[in-house]
Structure 1
């Protein structure tokens, strides 16, 4: 492997590596996700430096998993503790979107030939015909990012050792539950204490993309958004289809909550010049399993909610208020319809209770405990009974079992959280270390614009989910309590190492390869920027962060 690389120029090295990595099917959850870590490990060990120092490249097995992360450590010339973390991930999404072309999904050459003659999309065909784009699953997200980091590690190891340390981390499972990066936290902490490493920054090179038609800007990011998955268990009052007017159907509450929350830009954080995602409903269903003439007893919902500057406790309070408003709207509408119906039937309306309680998982547990209900036992038993289910479904079953403990069985909306949880990671104003990171990036891009002709823009939050989230936590314990207290079986069925992440506290840049249509069958990478410009950009930022003089791209 070393022989192939050593005979190529830098851009050629990056393209060769990308093509080799794309050819390896590392779909998330597949056997290939295990095999590719062995390939990358073997490749790095073929470098002369790592042949002499095999202890500086190793595999970390993810607990309770067969997949492994790849680490490589390259000490700097100054024998100092300052360290920059380069990281990327090797798993990809599936290839179902390729359809009849699935057999070529990992073959950039075959896909290029296909899209060169593709008549149904002019932009894709022109990109293919230009010869500047590399097609294939993972080409953009993010086998090319791995290749760029490997090219820089190769260069550093061969002839341009930086003054500070470079630690390379390539993880599994970024596209799903982030098991790779969560496991890597313990290894990063171990290195921090064992070798006395001081992490001054992390550089992820996950893909960047145009944000509108004709956009040629290269966006660089100084942080990563966070993510929570708020879930709503909604209990109604079931009825026969012939007697629905006096009962609350949980699907109505769910529908109103969906309208009030999904894509609601009014509650989306307002940040200048940032690409901000609104809340998105990912799941909504009732608990009926088959046809009958009874209405549903409950409904389940969860939403994707991204966090930028907003803290977890602030988001929880807002979600709770929205749910209360939705419940109140439904209660009033049901009451109005009931009264109208009774008048039409010539009957006198009764005074009915149309209230819908809105509470949190923790508040509801505390209420049940005042009734001496066996809360802990029911949670444990339900978790075991439904251990075969997806964890989010299992949590709904837990909340449903708790609802059954309440003798009142009144209509109720219970807010809780489920995996995944990703903290937000961003540069803080007034933090001198963070200011130096921003300064290094800004200076590098200013110089590159003059040399390369590229147009850059710095933004604070990488707009997609990223492993960089697990390198810092900004919330205090009190602020996090809103999440952890309302997360069923936190620390048993799911957790992230909060205290260890706090001790890392690594500011995270994303300087990404440039591509289009990630997670689509037309996924493709723009080679001129990704292979000719980006490796040098990352080295230049690295040099500035280490305090070195400017290193020209090349």
Structure 2
């Protein structure tokens, strides 16, 4: 069989395993990948070069897979091929949900669902396959597995080719975060020098592109601010005598949701504006009393913005939202007073905005046993299977309830996960060398394959590239972590490892469309015929 056929068949097998993020299916997928890699003769003869490592304290007992092929010529130079094995859910597939993981059946029947013009044309063309995970990113996994198999035969390179396959990318990147300490240990024990990483995520069309042929040298970052609003309770029969936190959080949402003011820009790129991921009040049972607490958290993308600039903008927004809510309430009190001829008492409430670290500091000063108390609470919430974001909201509530100065306020914090933005710059020898190899590969694509691959500054889908290192002199990261709820209790960034693991990375894979939608699909001619040749060229250029 041809290499293209092997990749296609491998991809079909991988897609058929519904490795939904945040489920035990991720472990089943890891089992399958490890078993198939171990069948490669090179790894049977070199079992010390392949392994499966458990993620510490992971309730789902997930693991990541690694494999190393040593070239015929010894060298510390090591290139990593990486990708994630998990996928998102399939609820949106409707009556085709049962075949969402069957490439050929899903492709054959996808037209039974409502398709836009572009998806309908692609379905008719015969050049695209549909199904969950085809583009994001079982093709990338299949390609990497077949490449590691191919290079294990001739080993016609100098240095080391490493395969890293991780779970959890679609949730909290638990796999990549756990892999960092391992990769540093591997580097130390074997005297490796990591000269680059390629993450095999697909490229996605921009503007009017029919098919995307892009290589990304940066990845967008992500930060999630949580606004915890404390109101003043009142009876529904006296609704104007308090302040409903739902009014406060709604005003925050009006100001922040999809606001271009909070789109970050760098190198000619701009991020999509923020979006609310969850908005709620925390009243658990029905009563005729107004809620005391409401909360909302947001997805905010970054390209270059530092944390100090970010948190100041969030504080300014919260003050504006609080002021607007009070002004709104005052106007309504005056309007009701005129209509009813009843004098409404105007109680003085002033906007109060604090960061979580400020509240936490005061609470810890008053309650020496606070950390132990909170750890016990967190364990209860974990046993109840609450996600990290819900636990974070509960932590802020618990902290505020121990805070002595009870009054309406907005508490701003950061909740997990956090993704640093990443950009490949030729700032050191490895980055310069890796970038030269990337440029050579792009030139090879254009001159030899007549393919114009567009070098793009940022991959706008969140990716594990964020965890391939941060600047060692980035002092704002410490301030960010001080405002992160439950840091070191429910979530931890391996900061020291990130500072020591700063390696150049690109995102490059097949061409896909509509990731996370029922019309997710992969272009076969480009992905199978062109991309593997460019991978081979890049690998041999880096490890020459």
Q: Residue 176 of structure 2 aligns with which residue?
A: 181
* Deviation, structure 1 residue 204: 0.4
Q: Does 1:506 align with 2:503?
A: yes
Q: Distance in 2 between matches of 1:60 and 1:176?
A: 19
Q: Greater CA deviation, 248-257 or 324-333?
A: 324-333
Q: Identify which of 495, 504, 525 aligns with 1:528.
A: 525
Task: Please name the residue that 1:355 is paired with.
Answer: 350
> Cα deviation per residue 1:115-152 (whole Å; 9 max; x = unaligned)?
47878555434423333222222111111001111222
What pairs up with 1:6-85 in 2 under 5 angstroms?
Answer: 8-65=1-58, 66-85=61-80
Distance 1:280 1:331, change over 3 A: same
User: Contact 1:233–1:413 (CA<8 Å) still a contact in 2?
Assistant: yes
> Post-superposition shift, 1:359?
0.6
Distance 2:253 2:12 in 1: 43
Instruction: Report the secondary structure of 1:291's partner residue.
Output: coil
Displacement after TM superposition at 1:154 (Å):
2.1
Q: Tell me, what secondary structure is at the counterpart of 1:72? A: strand
Partner of residue 279, structure 2: 284
5 Å-filtered alignment, 1:69-148, equals: 69-115=64-110, 121-148=116-143
Q: CA deviation at 1:459?
A: 1.8
Which of 239, 244, 247 pairs up with 2:242? 247
Please show how residues 192-231 of structure 1 align to structure 2 within 5 Å: 192-231=187-226
Partners of 2:424 and 2:506 within 8 A in 1: no
Aligned equivalent of 2:302? 307
Q: CA 1:351/1:509 → structure 2, altered by over 3 Å: closer, same or farther? A: same
Q: How does 1:468-479 map to 2 (within 5 A)?
A: 468-474=465-471, 476=473, 478-479=475-476
Is this contact kept in 2: 1:217–1:455, CA < 8 A? no
Whole-Å separation in 1 of the counterparts to 2:244 and 2:112: 54
CA contact (8 A) 1:378 1:402 kept: no
Length-normalised TM-score, structure 2: 0.93
Q: Does 1:155 align with 2:150?
A: yes
1:236/1:248 contact within 8 Å kept: yes
TM-score (norm 1): 0.91
Q: In structure 2, which of residues 261, 266, 274 is the aligned counterpart of residue 271 of structure 1?
A: 266
Q: Is the 8 A contact 1:471 1:506 kept in 2?
A: yes
CA distance in 2, matches of 1:372, 1:172: 39
The structure-2 alpha-carbon separation of the partners of 1:28 and 1:402, relative to structure 1 and needing over 3 Å to count, comes to closer
User: Do structure 1's residue 235 and structure 2's residue 230 form an aligned pair?
Assistant: yes
Q: Deviations over 1:426-465 (max 9, x none)?
A: 2236445333333322231122123333332212221111
Please identify, of 419-428 and 183-192, the stretch whose mean Cα deviation from structure 2 is larger.
Answer: 419-428
Deviation at 1:477, TM superposition (A): 5.9
Checking the alignment, whether the CA contact within 8 Å between 1:313 and 1:481 is kept in structure 2 is no
In angstroms, what is the RMSD of aligned CA positions?
2.3
Q: Is the 8 A contact 2:510 2:522 kept in 1?
A: yes
In structure 2, what is the Cα distance between the partners aligned to 1:23 and 1:164? 34
Residue 399 (structure 2) aligns with = 402
SS in 1 for 2:236: coil
Contact map agreement 2:265 2:303 (CA 8 A) in 1: no
In terms of mean alpha carbon deviation, does 239-248 or 175-184 score higher? Answer: 239-248
Q: What's the CA shift for 1:273?
A: 3.8
Cα shift at 1:114: 1.6
The Cα shift of 1:348 comes to 5.9
CA contact (8 A) 2:49 2:68 kept: yes
Task: Give the alignment of 1:400-439 within 5 angstroms.
Answer: 400-428=397-425, 430-439=427-436
Partner of 2:487: 490
Matched-pair contact (CA < 8 Å) for 1:134–1:525: yes
User: Partners in 2 of 1:349 and 1:106 — Cα distance?
Assistant: 62
Structure 1 residue 217 displacement after superposition = 3.9
Q: 1:36 to 1:444 in 2, by over 3 A?
A: same
Unaligned runs of 5+ in 1: 1-7, 549-554
Q: Distance in 2 between matches of 1:500 and 1:223?
A: 20
Deviates more, 1:400-409 or 1:44-53: 400-409
User: Which stretch shows the higher mean deviation, 352-361 or 373-382?
Assistant: 373-382
Q: Assess if the C-alpha contact under 8 Å between 2:214 and 2:453 holds in 1.
A: yes
Displacement of 1:349 after TM fit?
6.3
1:83–1:166 CA contact under 8 A, matched in 2: yes
Contact 1:382/1:401 (8 A) holds in 2: no
Contact 1:283 1:301 in 2 (8 A): yes
Q: Distance in 1 between matches of 2:52 and 2:367?
A: 49
Q: Which residue number corresponds to residue 167 of structure 2?
A: 172
1:516 Cα deviation from its structure 2 partner: 1.5
Number of matched residues? Answer: 540
1:48-97 CA deviation, whole Å, 9 max, x = no partner? 22222122111111122322211110112331111111101111112222
